[in-house]
């Protein structure tokens, strides 16, 4: 198999940041679970070994996408999109309810969350629509038909996710769609209309009772955690205590008092950032934020450097996805965002999130490689003649 170090054009800084986040994630997951016999069944390394396997499989998927011809990526996009829709339909018909949401498919001892993969398929599906239409007309302007088609691509999986209901994924998906539309060159009026429509849809969902009671309680607890300190506000209260315990340098890995006592629910998944805050302190938590910032910077740089419409829109969409999801996850750990149950990219425990995120990074590296090896068409400054290099 071809090594990424020998593949020209691969963004090594992006890859290094992703690997560093994954290593830190394994350590934090290990710390959050090693003292929890109720989770591990007496094997303190159980979750560590599973997460290392998740990272290894994810890196394998990343490498496959990196070395794949970019033309095949576009060819298989419709098939991947249909497979994602099929997975979301299966969830609604035979899925398992976890934490109040029917979001999981169980196969023996393995669980899959199709909504995690839907984030990537929506990005590449919308990117393919705008790319195909831009390449088959003489103007690159994005009009009403383009916007409607892109929104239809996003609407099908979004509807299936709302029916689960998975509020956290829906919020991330909404922000991602907004970013893809902006990157595609859609007019500002469409973006404003989408924002207004999103607010209206949220109000309608609450009014129609589509959200579960616990989801509504989470929003109320976000506004005022003292309303239910033993219920919906408990997660936020304990997360803030854990994050505040660390100080500048932390209590030491595997030595966090809140973490060792298991006071923070779902600390190896949704609230893994609190482990960093308590045990690694401001320095360690800041390192995670900085590494995520590197990932976003490189993704946006890749989007800016490629003249390929599909690559530019897909890279920008992935950046919006990672950016908002990281902000949502860290924000809920710090009490500045409502608790919605979304993982921290590359850090939280879980296979589906890791695989989808690694596939997305593989696509970013593929786009970067294509931009470096085969630059797109450029205009000669003196003649204005379109040439290809």
Give the per-residue pLDDT at 386.
37
**Residues 46-54: contacts with CB within 8 Å, 24+ apart?**
47/268, 47/349, 50/349, 50/351, 51/25, 51/26, 51/349, 52/26, 54/349, 54/350, 54/351, 54/354, 54/355
Alpha-carbon span 19 to 13, nearest angstrom: 10
Give this prediction's pTM: 0.88
Q: Domain of 203?
A: 4-387
Task: Give the contacts of 7 (CB within 8 A, at least 6 positions apart).
Answer: 66, 67, 369
| φ, ψ (nearest 5 deg) of residue 103 | -120, 0
Q: State the pLDDT at residue 74.
A: 87
Contacts of 22 (CB under 8 A, 6+ apart): 55, 58, 59, 346, 347, 354
Tens-digit pLDDT profile for the chain (389 aa)?
444 445 556 899 999 999 999 999 999 999 999 988 888 888 899 999 999 999 999 999 999 999 998 778 889 999 999 999 999 999 999 888 776 678 888 877 778 999 999 999 999 999 999 988 877 654 557 778 888 999 999 999 999 998 888 888 988 999 999 999 998 888 888 788 777 877 776 666 666 666 666 666 666 666 666 666 666 677 788 888 998 898 999 999 999 999 988 888 889 999 999 999 999 999 999 999 999 999 999 999 999 999 888 999 999 999 999 999 999 999 999 988 888 889 999 999 999 999 999 999 999 999 998 876 655 444 444 333 333 33
Query: What is the pLDDT, as a whole number, of residue 3?
Result: 46
Axis-axis angle for helices 281-305, 12-34 (nearest 10)? 150
Rg (CA), the chain: 21
Specify the length of the chain in residues. Answer: 389
Q: Is the dihedral of CA 220, 36, 322, 211 positive or negative?
A: negative
Strand partners, 387: 378
Residue 364 φ/ψ region, left for φ over 0, alpha for ψ in the -120 to 50 degree band, beta for the rest? alpha
| Distance, CA of 132 to CA of 302 (rounded, Å) | 20
Residue 321's closest CA among 210, 185, 169? 169
Distance CA 122, CA 81 (A): 7
Distance CA 287, CA 232 (A): 29
In the chain, the number of structural domains is: 1
Residue 106 bridge partners (DSSP):
111
């Amino acid at each position: 198999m071809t090594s990424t170090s020998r593949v020209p054009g691969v963004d090594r800084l992006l890859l290094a940041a992703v690997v560093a986040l994954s290593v830190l994630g394994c350590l934090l997951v290990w710390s959050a679970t090693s003292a929890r016999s109720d989770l591990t069944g007496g094997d303190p390394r159980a979750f560590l070994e599973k997460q290392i396997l998740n990272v290894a499989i994810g890196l394998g998927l990343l490498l496959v996408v990196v070395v794949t011809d970019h033309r095949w990526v576009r060819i298989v996009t419709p098939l991947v999109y249909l497979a994602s829709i099929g997975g979301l339909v299966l969830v609604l018909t035979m899925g398992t309810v976890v934490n109040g949401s029917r979001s999981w498919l169980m196969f023996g001892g393995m669980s899959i969350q199709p909504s995690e993969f839907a984030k990537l398929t929506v990005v590449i599906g919308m990117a393919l629509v705008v790319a195909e239409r831009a390449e088959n007309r003489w103007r690159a302007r994005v009009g009403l038909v383009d916007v409607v088609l892109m929104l239809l691509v996003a609407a099908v999986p979004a509807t299936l996710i709302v029916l689960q209901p998975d509020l956290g994924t829906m919020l991330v998906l909404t922000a991602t769609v907004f970013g893809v539309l902006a990157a595609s060159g859609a007019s500002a009026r469409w973006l404003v209309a989408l924002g207004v429509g999103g607010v209206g849809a949220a109000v309608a969902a609450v009014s129609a009772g589509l959200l579960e009671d616990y989801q509504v309680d989470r929003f109320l607890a976000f506004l005022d955690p003292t309303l239910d300190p033993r219920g919906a506000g408990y997660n936020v209260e304990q997360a803030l205590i854990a994050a505040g315990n660390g100080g500048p340098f932390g209590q030491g890995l595997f030595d966090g008092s809140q973490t060792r006592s298991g006071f923070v629910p779902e600390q190896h998944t949704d609230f893994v950032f609190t482990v960093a805050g308590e045990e690694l302190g401001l320095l360690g938590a800041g390192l995670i934020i900085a590494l995520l910032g590197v990932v976003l910077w490189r993704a946006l740089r890749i989007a800016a450097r490629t003249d390929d419409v599909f690559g530019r829109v897909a890279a920008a969409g992935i950046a919006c996805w990672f950016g908002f999801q990281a902000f949502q996850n860290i924000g809920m750990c710090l009490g500045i965002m409502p608790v919605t149950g979304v993982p921290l990219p590359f850090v939280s425990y879980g296979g589906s999130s890791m695989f989808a995120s690694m596939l997305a990074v593989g696509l970013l590296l593929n786009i970067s490689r294509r931009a470096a090896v085969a630059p797109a068409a450029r205009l000669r400054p003196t003649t204005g003649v379109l040439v290809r290099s």
